[in-house]
Amino acid sequence: METLDKETAKSPARRKFERNSWWIVSLLVIAGFLGAKWYWLIDVTRPLESTEGLIQRAAVFQKAFDYDDNMGRRMRKNGWAKQIIYWPIKPTDDEIKYAGDFMQYAMSAYLFLKKEKLVCGAYYTFDLENKDISDGELSLLKEAADFAASANIADYENSAELGIAAIKFKFPC
């Protein structure tokens, strides 16, 4: 009887809201996922030759690297759940292409500096056609992306200066 009294005391609008609240929660979750996907998109409209373009591509590389790292590509556990949870930060096809642009740019800059004997320390042999990247090469790319993403645009005239500075930061002489 106590439950019946509680229910009759509620207004019809409140009972209807409580009965349909799962729809509202579902819509809020979907809106949250779509909002997060929109928030995580990275604008890559500047040309690669500009400092801003290289910084944008470095940010996209970091996003792709972090997504790959969070998804644990080397360790397959709960793959379907991770795909749902990490969908908002999953890089788009365009972002993956731009991350590849950054990788090629950084690798080319490293190979140029190595050929000119302007870098010291560990030496990597990048094969620009090969899709496999060693852990050392990935470390170089990650640190170059971190340097580029935190760079002050005013300090560099173009992306070549920034790219060279990022590689020299990793391998100072």
Domain ranges of the chain: 41-170
* Res. 144 pLDDT band, cuts 50 70 90: confident
Q: Which two tokens stand for residue 32?
A: 């949250």
Whether the per-residue pLDDT at 74 is higher than 60: the answer is no
**Least confident segment among 71-75, 90-94, 107-111:** 71-75
User: What number is the average pLDDT over the span 50-69?
Assistant: 86
The model's pLDDT over 32-52, given as tens digits with 9 standing for 90+, comes to 888 888 887 788 888 877 888
Whether the per-residue pLDDT at 162 is higher than 60: the answer is yes
The CA distance from 173 to 116, in Å, is 13
Whether the per-residue pLDDT at 98 is higher than 80: the answer is yes
Mean residue pLDDT of the chain comes to 80
Share of the chain above pLDDT 90, in %: 3
Q: Which class for 16: exposed (0-12), middle (13-18), buried (19 or more C-beta within 10 A)?
A: exposed
What pLDDT shows up at residue 60? 92
Whether the per-residue pLDDT at 143 is higher than 80: the answer is yes
* Res. 76 pLDDT band, cuts 50 70 90: low
Residue of higher predicted confidence among 83 and 78 = 83
What pLDDT shows up at residue 100? 86
User: Is the Cβ–Cβ distance between 84 and 33 less than 8 Å?
Assistant: no
User: Is the Cβ–Cβ distance between 19 and 73 less than 8 Å?
Assistant: no
The model's pLDDT over 101-141, given as tens digits with 9 standing for 90+, comes to 888 888 888 888 888 888 776 666 666 566 677 777 788 88
